[in-house]
Structure 1
Amino acid sequence: MESEVEFVYRWGRPLNIALLSLGVFVVVVASFYFSIFNNGISKSSDNWSDFGTFVGGLIGPAISLVTLIALLRTIDLQLDQSAHFVEDGRSARLSEFKATQLRLLDQQILMYERMIDRYDTDVVRISEYMRRSGSARTEDLNKANQNLATAEREIKCLIQLSVEVSLMDFDTVDELREKVKSGLLTVNSKIYDLG
């Protein structure tokens, strides 16, 4: 709303003033011509020819000035519209990139869920084997439990990163890219270090 008011102040008011001034100027010039040179409306074509020359010489430049103001207003409108298109395009690219990054994070979360399922299965399998055979495979069980705990911690970090990315506002694609990159490195620097 403020930009519309600013725009009307910037171009609408000057254009309206120019048109009103042009109208007043035409009336003053015509009345001046008729009162000084002609004593009213003439029936002679020579007087009308002189009147045309007089009006063309005085009013023509005034009309050109108003036309110039209108042309500048049109150019300004086009520049404003172009700026909006550029901004809309930038916003659309940023939104699309954000959606892509959220899909990437979702895929990573699914991958970790599969890993957790696999580690859960390993823990159950090792525990069952130990119970049936009576052998102590505590090293294998500890490693499986450690893998499970690590995967659960990393999936928690991925979910937190996904929520942060979805809730934060970013100004540029690079800013969003840096947030996701640093967040993934925090999750697991060995897997997500892309050099």
Structure 2
Amino acid sequence: MWTKLEDIAEIIRGVSYKKNVSQSFASPGYIPVLRATNIQERKLILHDSLVFVPASIAKEEQYLRPGDSVICISSGSKHLVGKSAMLRSKWKGAFGAFLAVVRPASHVDAQFVGYFLNSPQYQDAVRRLSSGININNLRIRDLAKIRLPLPPLPEQRRIVAKIEALFSRLDAAEEGLRRVQRNLKRYRAAVLKAA
């Protein structure tokens, strides 16, 4: 069954704030706010490149929750629009105005939606829908209309488990490659030393 994002998730725009109320360090009464630079290689960077704004300017729904997928909806670089990552653990903070969150309904596997939001099909839709001259934008109403295949919940979970298993194998292979590269450097150094 195909469905639209708006039919299975709440889509929320991030916190708007003026630069003069933000700061680069934590202090009482301030909360961290994610920006597009905090989305790197399908992961959220939660401890670097943060800005902090008064907690009073963030609405309750703008605080991140585990299972939320954070999406860059505005950027000077077209290739950054649409990039996303899912919050996998509890974290107290919000997300900025150049971002949006897709918060799946309880009858949908959040990880399934998160993986869809990194799929080629999703990226193609974003490229078609984003617009702008200096700042590229993906409008919330356009994001909401993106269609995705939605199997029954048990099948969503099976697909997520398979993807997780494949990523685990990929991570192990990448670590093996790094180990080989380190060994190669040591061997080269030993050969040069012996020469």
TM-score (norm 2): 0.27
Structure richer in strand, relative to its length: 2
Q: Which has the larger radius of gyration?
A: 1
Q: TM-score, normalised by structure 1?
A: 0.27
